[in-house]
Amino acid sequence: MIEFEAPKPIAQQQFVLKTVAEEMMRAKSRYFDDHEHEIPYDYIEFMHMAMRATGAGSLAPKEKKEEAEDPNKPKRPPIGYQMLAHMLEMLSWGDVGMYLVTPGGGLGAAAVQSAANAEQKAKFLARFGEAKPTFAAMCMTEAGAGSDTSAIRSTAILDKEKNEWVINGEKIFVTAGDKSITLDEKFGKGFVVVWASIDPSAGRAGMRAFVVEAGTPGVSVTKMEHKLGIRCSDTASIVLQDARVPFDHILGSPEVVKDTKGFKGAMATFDATRPLVAATGIGVARAALEFTKEKLAENGVTIRYGLPRQKLTNIEREVIDMEIMLRSAWLMILKAVWMADNAKPNALESSMSKVKAGDAVTKVTQKAVEVMGPLGYSREFLLEKWFRDAKITDIYEGTGQINRLVVARQILGYSGAELR
């Protein structure tokens, strides 16, 4: 059963994270927006130490201690994804661009978590709890395969003599791609998870994910995107030219059979992470809404809740509508992450929360700029930045249009080929 009151561990976490968001992120928002691609080393190091101290730095599976369980003691329900959603919302309230350079596994680790075996998880995920901050990223999008991930043309051919996979292809719009694949003495050895086909004639059945570590010969960053928002975060193009990785770096079976398990592995990753991306958008929208209400209050405008709409001023109605959009989107996210925590299939709820949040953050930040007028458009305040940061919520990890298709297919029972 879903509970709407945050469990005690989450409430405690939020108290600490708010200080980080205010003092380390919000205070530096304008600087890192103006200095695109400059790496906030102080923030990264602080977050890495904090996560290690709290045990949040490692995603590796931990051995369970053999302890006698008290049969009368109720088991605490899992709250891992719920805790992440609250954490990401708060950090994004501070600054979503800086949140995106928080050290850790990101989408790359999520792919390993979804598709790897126990040995691979132990090997690749343990590094996120080591001494240096480490990054990982997902390499899926290509110039000819954006939202239609089944159109990926990158290939991975097995060199049987050397027992290595030879990968060729180009990936674009890789979030944290540069920090994940480039060796930096201040960071641990990161990796990217590259989606490629081991048999192009097999279609989706031939798609597999491969862990490609930083420093691998033949892998290079060819471009760093200049973006509208989230400018602190690097978004890279990565070329793989005869890049060789060990045989056991494939996630999933190397055999091609007549199913789509490889493709489903990718989609399972998104089912877990789309609500988390949605939560980052809610953080941005909340920042804009709170700022707007604060400025209105300073000018003597208070929101009279509880009155019929016809008795409210236009400004009051608009602010209340913004709050409705924000809260309804957040409730959908809570449901999706609760289902993820309890191992319930959440493909429908995951995409629904992403669609709703993408709409909400775009509309809320735009309306906030409009309500504030010239001050909203001015660089004197961060409102215009939040407006720019907001739109990406509706684009990455599946555009709003693609997620609407996913929702329709889930509800109507159509396959991807039947409803496009």
Q: Which two tokens stand for residue 214?
A: 């930083």
Active site residue 397: yes
CA dihedral 120, 124, 125, 128 (to 10 degrees): 170
Three-state DSSP class for residue 254: coil
Tokens 């939040």 correspond to what residue? 386
Whether the CB-CB separation of 154 and 170 falls below 8 Å is answered with yes
- Within 152-274, strands assigned E span 155-159, 164-175, 191-197, 207-213, 219-224, 235-246, 250-251
Ordered DSSP codes for 167-194? EEEEEEEEETHHHHHS--TTS---EEEE
Whole-angstrom Cα Rg for the chain: 22
117 sits in the region (left: phi over 0; alpha: psi -120 to 50; else beta) called beta
Inter-residue contact 208 to 229 (CB < 8 Å): no
**From the candidates 89, 316, 349, 397, which is the catalytic residue?**
397
Please name every residue paired with 174 in a beta bridge, in sequence order, or none if there are none.
Answer: 236
Cα gap 190→216, rounded to integer Å: 11
Instruction: List residues with catalytic annotation.
Output: 397
